[in-house]
Structure 1
Amino acid sequence: MNFEYFISKRLVTKSDYKSSISAPIIKIAISAIAIGVVMMFIAVATGFGLQEKIREKIAAFNGHIVINNFTNNQATITQNPVSTQQEFYPSFTSIPEIEHIQKVATKYGIIRTETDFEGIVVKGVDEQYRWEYLEEFLVDGVLPVFDESISREVLISDYLATRLGFKTGDKLIVYFLREDQDRLPRSVGLTISGIFDSGFKEFDETYIIADLKQIQRLNDWSANEIGQFELFVEDFNDIQEVGYKVYEEVDSFLNASTIVELYPSIFEWLKMFDFNIILIIGIMILVAGINMMTALLVLILERTQMIGILKALGSSDWSIRKIFLYNAGYLIFKGLFWGNLIGISLLLIQKYFKIIQLNPETYYVSEAPIYLSLDYILMINFGTLVLCLLMLLIPSVIIVKISPVKAMKFE
């Protein structure tokens, strides 16, 4: 073992190595591994990052699972109230995967100004609402405070504020149609406490966030009547399975839908990223492996006389193959080192300085999001090392074919 390691180190550190014919090929192989690792890091970090960020934005306005009446439409606009006197509220103890449940209600409205108007959806929430997502989107002002009294504070999107000329602290009037079409619309004066920008145009041009008690008052509902429940799961990967469990647990007159079912086109689009990530990783490992195979093949041919001498001294074919595999492993580690250094540096630069910008109308985000995890970094490094070494077993078979007598005469 020590002898083989010593010989392999001599292959890498001998004085004439840099001037040998294999030097440029080996440099190309190291560069291919480094570039491959960088590309794999970028593909995984941006692919997973985009998936996670879009899921968060959809969940910010819908939760992960929505429970409402079957008579309510797929857009989750409240038509008939749901009673809060349910076995699963306020805690869904029968399904431990549910980490949070909140009550909301939605109602169509129209914002009217002196020069313009805009149709919107007013989403009523209470003090139990999960604010962390919207807090991240907040660009001006503060989050509204909802307590026992009916609050007139609202959150409005930057899109609506810009379009209608509003700013934090301004008053706005929202008109709501009555069930009796012959009666005049009902108007409510509200105050803008904060402005958010999720980058998700479908939601930004639609929703304003208000007090749930305002919706209950406008609909003449009691304090125990709401539009729907929104549930959050601990692990988004389990959302479909948990959604089925929730559907089985709730009463027969209630429906449970996951956001994957409510927004199928978006999540089908997101699934394409998984295929793209796998494809890029496969191509990069294949390219790096082929370059390493070429480098090892040239290295073997260049050291044919040394192989003949080792065989004449009694070394077995496998021990000689291990010498070249040790040498190749060193080169792979060198490529992985530079790939990790460059790749992680680029990801950190994008994560904190947001250099690469995206069109939110196409990608639902304004900059390329980065997902960093030690798990996939280690998996990419380990997978690249193992697969490249396995591929290098192929050219090392040539060593078995080399005859000691012919090898020592080889020039």
Structure 2
Amino acid sequence: MNYELFIAKRIITAKKYKSSISSPIIKIAIIAIAIGMVIMMIAIGTGIGLQQKIREKLSGFNGHIQITNFDNNNSEITLEPISKIQNFYPEFTNIGGIKNVQVFATKPGIIRTETDFEGIIFKGVSNDYDWSFFKEYLVEGIVPNYDTNVSFDVLISSEISNRLNINLNEEFNILFVKDDPAKAPWLRVVKVIGIYNSGFQDFDKNFVIADIRHIQKMNKWSGNDVGGFEVILNNFDDIQEKSNEIYKETASTLNSQSIIEKYPAIFEWIGLFDTNIYLIIVIMVLVAGINMITALLVLILERTQMIGILKALGSSNVSIRKVFLYNASYLILRGLFWGNLIGLIILAIQKYGKIISLNPETYYVNTVPIYLDAGYILLLNIGTLLLCLIMLIIPSLIITKISPVKSIKFE
């Protein structure tokens, strides 16, 4: 029988314990642990959630890795064509972990309506395009189908729709300037078949998704000429490794670039979230640990006579310390329970209710995204419990300084 655990249970369930001088201090320690757990869960849930959403939106518009011509063109516009007859298209045979390889091309254009006009990027895609990203953010209509004949159906953002008053199933004009400015521009009359809203305004206000064959015709490319390839991975965490592998698999005239390399400033910014999360976790664990140290010391001082009696009966210092560490574990677990319960409720409300909104111009999302995963919650609980107990080992050494004769006589 584990008599240390037995004594700890008797202490916990004793009525005197619940109404003792240490009771308010114990409650404060439990509340501190609960609040710390809530703050840590919110920090991790929102931090990782925001990172994932921004990565998801960047890859939705660009793919995880882009293969383009090896030139000095740093704009979003593709200038020189690439033949899509490549050994890696339609799929890489020597590289695993790749979900899809899709062609694209872009061309600057101007939307002209009866009352207004707006510059846009006309992004052409083909029948190999993965529409899963746009389906998730589709607010009206459907995604286009470019399987058969040249299609005049396009996908626009709600940003463009609202600004230019272009609604679903309406037609509008797009002008494309020719290489010779003296010549009349190309005119394309397209129809809105779907409206999306990704919340990433830098892209939403610019991109119109259309059939790549319009760009091929205007640029006088052949049917096999494209602007580049977008590679979609199964796992974002493999992006740097796969980018290096893809670079080795492509011709010397081609360049592969991951979205981390294409948008370094954004990824450096979201990388700072990790530092913030670690800092919050360290501070919260320290606060919880200090409160538990205070509670433990008060418990020990309040039970001086009991400690003296146990020593007089032959209990070792290690056994008595175990009694109080078991007691402290119970208090920590109570705090973790309430912290998890409150934290999960708050995160679930935000995840499904989207109550707290953000400025998309600053954060690239409309609402605070939430990442919920049993793995990180479990690790957070185990880590907090273990770290708090480790912090309590040294303060529990005060038990070794208590003399049985003096403690019993004192009472």
2:88 counterpart of 1:100:
no
User: What whole-Å deviation, never above 9, does each CA across 1:273-325 have from its counterpart, x for those lacking one?
Assistant: 00000001111111001101110010000001100000000000000000000
**DSSP 3-state at the match of 1:349:** helix
Give SS of 2:15's match: coil
Write out aligned runs for 1:46-61 (5 A). 46-61=46-61
Instruction: Give the aligned partner of residue 82 of structure 1.
Output: 82
4+ residue runs of structure 1 moved beyond 3 angstroms? Answer: none
- Counterpart residue type for residue 156 of structure 1: I
- 1:332 and 2:309 matched: no
Structure 1 position 97, deviation (Å): 2.5
Alignment of 1:7-406 (within 5 A): 7-71=7-71, 73-406=73-406
Determine what percentage of the aligned residue pairs are the same residue.
59
Shift of 1:5: 1.1
What amino acid is the match of 2:296? L
Separation in 1, partners of 2:266, 2:347: 25
CA offsets 1:80-126 (integer angstroms, 9 cap, x no match): 00111111111112111222111111111111112211110011111
User: What do the CA deviations read for 1:190-211 (whole angstroms, capped 9, x no partner)?
Assistant: 0000111111110011100001
Q: Provide, for residues 342-372 of structure 1, a one-character-per-residue CA deviation record: whole Å limited to 9, x for no partner.
A: 1111111111111111111111111000011
Instruction: Identify the range of structure 1 (92-101 vs 80-89) with the bigger mean alpha-carbon deviation.
Output: 92-101
Match of 1:322, SS? helix
Contact 1:176 1:185 in 2 (8 A): yes
1:62 CA displacement: 0.1
What is the identity, as a one-letter code, of the residue corresponding to 1:20? Answer: S
What RMSD over aligned residues (CA atoms) do the two structures have, in Å?
1.0
Q: By how many angstroms is 1:239 displaced?
A: 1.0
Q: Quick one: distance in 2 between partners of 1:52 and 1:15?
A: 49
> Residue type matched to 1:345 in 2?
I
Q: Structure 2 CA distance, aligned partners of 1:186 and 1:331?
A: 74
Mark the runs of 5 or more structure 1 residues left unpaired by the alignment: none
Cα offset for 1:72?
6.1
The residue type equivalent to 1:204 in the other structure is D
What SS does the aligned partner of 1:11 have? helix
TM-score by length of 1: 0.98
Which range moved further: 73-82 or 392-401? 73-82
* Cα shift at 1:379: 0.6
- Report the residue type matching 1:41 in the other structure: M
CA distance in 2, matches of 1:231, 1:76: 16
Secondary structure at the aligned position of 2:394 is classed as helix
Task: State the secondary structure of the residue aligned to 2:16.
Answer: coil
State the TM-score, normalized to the length of structure 2.
0.98
Alpha-carbon distance in structure 2 between the residues aligned to 1:169 and 1:364:
28
Tell me by how many angstroms 1:179 deviates: 1.9
Q: For 2:72 and 2:196, locate their aligned partners in 1 and report how far apart those are by CA, in whole Å.
A: 27
Inter-partner Cα distance in structure 2 for 1:331 and 1:281: 19
The one-letter code of the counterpart of 2:398 is I
Once the 2 structures are TM-superposed, how far is the Cα of residue 212 of structure 1 from its aligned partner? Answer: 1.2
User: Can you give the 5+ residue segments of structure 2 that lack an aligned partner in the other structure?
Assistant: none
Name the SS of the counterpart of 2:18 in structure 1: coil
CA positional deviation for 1:400: 0.9
SS at match of 2:17: coil
What do residues 248-276 of structure 1 show as CA deviations (whole Å, max 9, x unaligned)? 21100001111111111111110010000
C-alpha change, 1:116 and 1:180, in structure 2 (3 Å) is: same
Q: Which residue of 2 aligns with 1:407?
A: 407
Is contact 1:75-1:262 (8 Å) kept?
no
Inter-partner Cα distance in structure 2 for 1:37 and 1:74: 45
How far has the Cα of 1:213 moved from its partner? Answer: 1.3
Per-residue deviation, 1:407: 1.4
Separation in 2 of the partners of 1:15 and 1:45? Answer: 39
Aligned residue identity for 2:133? Y
How many residue pairs get aligned? The number is 411
